[in-house]
Amino acid sequence: MTTILVIEDDAQTSREIEAALVDYGYETRTAFTGRDGLVKAISDPYDAIVLDRMLPGDLDGLGVLAALRAAGIHAPVLILSALTAVDERVRGLKAGGDDYLTKPFDFLELTARLDVLLRRRNAPITESVLRAGPLEVDLLTHTVRRHGQLVDLLPREYRLLEYLVRNAGQVVTRTMLFEEIWHYRYDEPTNLIDVHVSKLRRKIDTAGEPSVIQTVRGSGYVLNAAG
């Protein structure tokens, strides 16, 4: 059973997060202060940690994160914060966070981001070729093949497809793609992602076969690992 530690001082938010994670199939433990969260994280192993950035008292989220890494705890940490500025996200990631999700957030995105972190943690570190259905993505040469045939992709198209293949079978939200591929959060309505996905589909899909990249209405995309 995958166990997640949730360190969040707001009781209602903590309950909602815990309920969403339990519904998704995770086991959870909760803490409402930085010190309590640190003690629990050191006392027992966790597969991942959801950590509020703005914890009250003398040990905030970044303090907890620094203490965790100093103690040799390398469980992936998803930071939650109402601080949306780019420099705040950078601070969180440089402090040892693995991902940063701004409040308010959708629980589908929360679970999707945790899936990404857990899959990344468990992925073999020696892999050089990713495979999903008919696709092969070579991480060394940055080339893509479908059914053995080379597909000519632009650099951003390659990064977009690599991210989808790494998370094949999992819903990837548009916000996640913006942050991973374009490296910033874009909250205003835009069809930028849809345009790039459409161009990518035209290059990797084969006539007469279902599209490898499926749209999840209202959420984002999922790459069909079966092909």
pLDDT at 187: 59
pLDDT at 128: 82
pLDDT at 3: 95
Instruction: List the chain residues with pLDDT less than 50.
Output: none
* Residue position matching structure tokens 């992602």: 193
Q: Tell me the pLDDT tens digit for each residue of 212-224.
A: 999 998 889 999 8
The three-point CA angle 28-33-38 to 5° equals 70
Q: Tell me the pLDDT tens digit for each residue of 30-46.
A: 999 999 999 999 999 99
Provide the pairing of β-strand 27-31 with 3-7: parallel
pLDDT at 221: 93
pLDDT at 123: 60
pLDDT at 185: 63
Contact 50, 4 (CB under 8 A): yes
pLDDT at 89: 80
What are the CB-based long-range contacts (under 8 Å, 24+) for 59-66? 59/33, 59/34, 59/35, 60/34, 61/7, 61/34, 61/92, 62/91, 62/92, 62/95, 63/34, 64/7, 64/34, 64/37, 64/38, 65/92, 65/95, 65/96, 65/97, 66/95, 66/96
pLDDT at 126: 55
pTM of the model: 0.63
pLDDT at 28: 96
pLDDT at 12: 95
In whole angstroms, what is the distance from residue 53 CA to residue 60 CA?
A: 6
